[in-house]
Amino acid sequence: MPRRPPRKPDPRLDLSSHLLPLAALPEPFDPATLFRAAGPVELEVGSGKGLFLTSAATAAPDRNFIGVEIAHGYARLIAGRLAAAGLANARVIHGDAGFLVGRLLPNACLAGMHVYFPDPWWKARHRKRRVLSEGFLHQAGRVLAPWAILHVWTDVEEYFHAALAAARATGLFEPPREEEAGEPNHDLDYRTHFERRTRLAGMPVWRAALVRSPAAATVVRTTATASVTGSPPPRTSGSPDHRPGPGRPRADRAAPPPASDSGR
């Protein structure tokens, strides 16, 4: 089922300080440079409609939050929400999380990472597009500071267990802890829109907190042009090589996922 296009943000809003194209970021990229006030930086991967970013940044003004969202319409929607709320401690990057985490971010720069309801990519031949691959989790372990937490929530039990097994295989995380969901106090009192939708439908959610162990990461920042998420191909299939390279625009950093089979 193709996704409904997201609502457009109010055209009167200036999105320029909240919305950043991945292709415009330097390499390496220190995420602290995005914020006026110093503070720990947390990253949300696949921010969707931006409920987590907006509520987390509002609740913790002394921390800084970045979302990375591959779908341009959603990245704009999120930026509109952050701008409308006047949040100086939150930003959204439009592009592929695999590229950001695997290639641009330096070691131990994040105080937390959040992956909520990642696309399940049901078909076996599309599984390599899943964000929570072992390659991505190695890089996630590299960019997280010791004792920082990676939060993984999903409504797909098989993906949950596969992600935990992949995290264990990296050797960079403590054994997972189950996370509790609180009782909502109002209609939007959920971690994300997908959590709201899943719980209102009476369906189960699997939640884990993975603490980055103090073990040294032997993995290095990748210089490969391919994304560690096995990033989805661009919608147009004209060119067989959509990867960035010398003299090529870094278009794949912002390639939208094909609507079919991501499972959402």
Question: Known catalytic residues?
Answer: 119
Of 60, 79, 56, 131, which Cα lies nearest the Cα of 100? Answer: 131
Candidates 17-25, 45-53, 56-64, 162-170; binding stretch for ligand SAM (CB under 6 A): 45-53
CB of residue 23 vs ligand SAM: minimum separation in angstroms? 14
CB of residue 182 vs ligand SAM: minimum separation in angstroms? 16
Note whether 116 binds ligand SAM by CB under 6 A: yes
Please select the residue that binds ligand SAM; options are 19, 22, 41, 69, rule is CB under 6 A: 69
Instruction: In whole angstroms, give the CA distance from residue 248 to residue 52.
Output: 34
- Phi/psi for 52 (5° steps) reads -60, -50
Note whether 111 binds ligand SAM by CB under 6 A: no
Instruction: In whole angstroms, give the CA distance from residue 230 to residue 232.
Output: 6
Closer by beta carbon to ligand SAM, 173 or else 190: 190
110-116 and 144-154: which strand pairing? parallel
Note whether 127 binds ligand SAM by CB under 6 A: no
CB of residue 80 vs ligand SAM: minimum separation in angstroms? 15
Please select the residue that binds ligand SAM; options are 65, 117, 121, 206, rule is CB under 6 A: 117
Note whether 98 binds ligand SAM by CB under 6 A: yes
Candidates 28-36, 80-88, 112-120, 161-169; binding stretch for ligand SAM (CB under 6 A): 112-120
CB of residue 208 vs ligand SAM: minimum separation in angstroms? 15
Instruction: In whole angstroms, give the CA distance from residue 88 to residue 30.
Output: 17
DSSP string, 49-97: T-HHHHHHHHH-TTSEEEEEES-HHHHHHHHHHHHHTT-TTEEEEES-H
Instruction: In whole angstroms, give the CA distance from residue 52 to residue 197.
Output: 14
CB of residue 37 vs ligand SAM: minimum separation in angstroms? 25
Instruction: In whole angstroms, give the CA distance from residue 170 to residue 136.
Output: 10
Note whether 131 binds ligand SAM by CB under 6 A: yes
Please select the residue that binds ligand SAM; options are 9, 31, 46, 135, rule is CB under 6 A: 46
Neighbours of 15 (CB within 10 A): 18
Note whether 155 binds ligand SAM by CB under 6 A: no
What is the CA angle 151-155-161, rounded to 5? 65
CB of residue 190 vs ligand SAM: minimum separation in angstroms? 9
Coil, helix or strand at residue 229: coil
Instruction: In whole angstroms, give the CA distance from residue 97 to residue 64.
Output: 18
Q: Hey, which residues between 191 and 220 contact ligand SAM (CB under 6 A)? A: 192-194
Please select the residue that binds ligand SAM; options are 168, 199, 221, 264, rule is CB under 6 A: 264
Residues in contact with ligand SAM by the rule CB under 6 A:
45-48, 68-71, 74, 96-98, 116-119, 131, 192-194, 229, 231, 257, 264
